[in-house]
Amino acid sequence: MRSHLRSIQVCNGQFDKPRLEVAFDTDAKLGVASRMKLFDMSTANKISALVFHVARPGIGNLAKAGDGYRYVPVPMQLAD
């Protein structure tokens, strides 16, 4: 059962390497911990995500992929 839509602002490399520390995190260690918690919760509970700064449709899901995650965009559906 899908719950709520989560908003995630990441750069593409953070899905593959969620422990990557980035300059725009005010507190790098807290940023990594928060990202891991959000990604784990999203995959475990099948919560869709609204993702910014990706070159694909911004609504999708996360899936575990090795030590990281994979973003799976929801196909766009155009109205007739």
pLDDT of residue 60: 86
Res. 39: pLDDT tops 50: yes
| CB-based contacts of 36, cutoff 8 Å, min separation 6 | 18, 19
Sign of CA dihedral 45, 63, 10, 54: negative
Q: Could you read off the pLDDT of 6-37 as tens digits, one per residue? A: 566 666 678 888 888 888 788 889 888 988 99
